[in-house]
Structure 1
Amino acid sequence: MEGGAVVARARAALGVPFRLHGRDGAGLDCVGLAAHALRLEAPSGYPLRGGEPALVRARLDALLHPVEGPPVAGDLLMMRTGPGQLYLGIWTGAGLVHADAGLRRVAERPGAPPWPVLGCWRR
């Protein structure tokens, strides 16, 4: 899948409400948004906080191609937004589409992510 199609699918979700374990137009979380944009099956049953980066990395490595170096449009980024909190977003080439719990909706943020990037994957 081309990166532009991934970005278009992520942007199509802009404004969808945030909902933990959300998987459709009624609500999405960061995992649901990533699954929607990348056309993947999304796991469920995970907590809002927590998660072992190595386990998440292994799961993503099995589904997507790990990327070294700078991301390109359509890449999936895994970030650490706080202690014990992992977060996923779709890089647009100029910003990040993500399910923002604080804004209570899927939003697009311009510029580099404000959180440490732990990994990058490409479809």
Structure 2
Amino acid sequence: MRREAAIVAAARSLVGAPFRLHGRDAATGLDCVGLVAAALAGAGHRCAAPNGYRLRGGALALHEARLRAAGLAPATGERPGDVVLVEAGVAQFHLMIATGGGHIHAHAGLGRVVDMPGPSPWPVRSRWRCPDIG
């Protein structure tokens, strides 16, 4: 299985997990960073999930630096399995996994990880990819 499909499959296996800020375990809860780290790990990519961030605040450059430090590379174009950095509110950044027909993300309002069809409801600020995907 291509790494892209493996990332999407791993993310889909987490749909329904509870939401928990700074959560890193599907049984007790995941936030958007925990979801991305778990999906990438499930596809065989080892990355360090950032800690010490807040639900709101921070600059785009800081979040992008954390994604680089986690071992991801900026991506051009759109592919399933991409990590998508969006701005869900003023200085409120959020990560999602692109599926090709939508996105999977840890939805704080719904209290769980969801698979949502269609384009991002928030402005996409950048896309990131495992370096071995290209």
Deviation at 1:61, TM superposition (A): 2.7
Would you say 1:44 and 2:45 are equivalent positions? no
Q: Which residue of 1 aligns with 2:13?
A: 12
Q: Which residue of 1 aligns with 2:24?
A: 23
1:64 equivalent in alignment to 2:72: yes
> How far apart, in 2, do the equivalents of 1:60 and 1:45 lie?
14
- Answering whether residue 39 of structure 2 is matched by residue 32 of structure 1, we say no
Distance 2:63 2:109 in 1: 23
Quote the RMSD (CA, aligned, Å).
1.1
Cα distance in 1 between the residues matched to 2:74 and 2:54: 24
Alpha-carbon separation, structure 1, partners of 2:18 and 2:113: 6
TM-score between both structures, scaled by the size of structure 1:
0.94
1:54 aligns with 2:95: no
Paired AA for residue 68 in structure 1: T
SS at match of 1:119: strand
Question: Structure 1, residues 2-45: CA drift from partner, whole Å, max 9, x if none?
Answer: 10000011111000000000000210000100111112221222
Extract structure 1 runs of 4+ deviating beyond 3 A: none
Matched, 1:75 2:76: no
- Which range is displaced more, 56-65 or 5-14? 56-65
How far is 1:66 from its partner? 0.8
Distance (whole Å) between structure 1 residues aligned to residue 53 and residue 62 of structure 2: 12
TM-score (norm 2): 0.87
Residue type at the aligned position of 2:15: L
Unpaired segments ≥5 residues, structure 1: none
Looking at structure 2, the residues matched to 16 and 58 of structure 1 have their Cα atoms a distance apart, in angstroms, of 27
